[in-house]
Chain A
Amino acid sequence: KNEVEQSPQNLTAQEGEFITINCSYSVGISALHWLQQHPGGGIVSLFMLSSGKKKHGRLIATINIQEKHSSLHITASHPRDSAVYICAVRDGGSQGNLIFGKGTKLSVKP
């Protein structure tokens, strides 16, 4: 069983739709990261959180430590949001190494 599971694997949405990507993990963590990988391959860190909720523009990330679950929400989605979104958890007992999910490929159609 993978330690970090993301769902869905693929997601197609119409422009303007509200999008939710889920991440569940099975290990104790000290932090959870959401990353965005553009079609060109570059990886950008969106959020790092260990509790509660964070918001940046149209992106919102939440985490429930008790349920070992995090969600990434995109409001008013736009074609430029099309990318692979990756969840990663930082193992609480390590040097801070990250364990990555396989990613969710999002395509937003105009």
Chain B
Amino acid sequence: GQSLEQPSEVTAVEGAIVQINCTYQTSGFYGLSWYQQHDGGAPTFLSYNALDGLEETGRFSSFLSRSDSYGYLLLQELQMKDSASYFCAVEAYGQNFVFGPGTRLSVLP
């Protein structure tokens, strides 16, 4: 079957750095995406990795290791508004997308 694993919850303080890991097992792999979802809202796109390495977008960075079937999202200089759920997602065969169960990030003052 296809599965992605993420920690269910992470807590950090304002200004800190937090890393959210994602491991995947899917039939086919084109790339790993990350989405943010605030309570009551829709998911919004954060980043995408198709190749190994680090992609940086402002305070957010995302890393991929295809050989390890592993990636992570790194959030720096945490702000209260970063409190949300974060989902990793794999584009598997064709354009079938498989999402992880989500990680709820709580940022404390």
Please say whether chains A and B are actual partners in one complex.
Answer: no
Residues on B lying within 8 angstroms of A by beta carbon are none
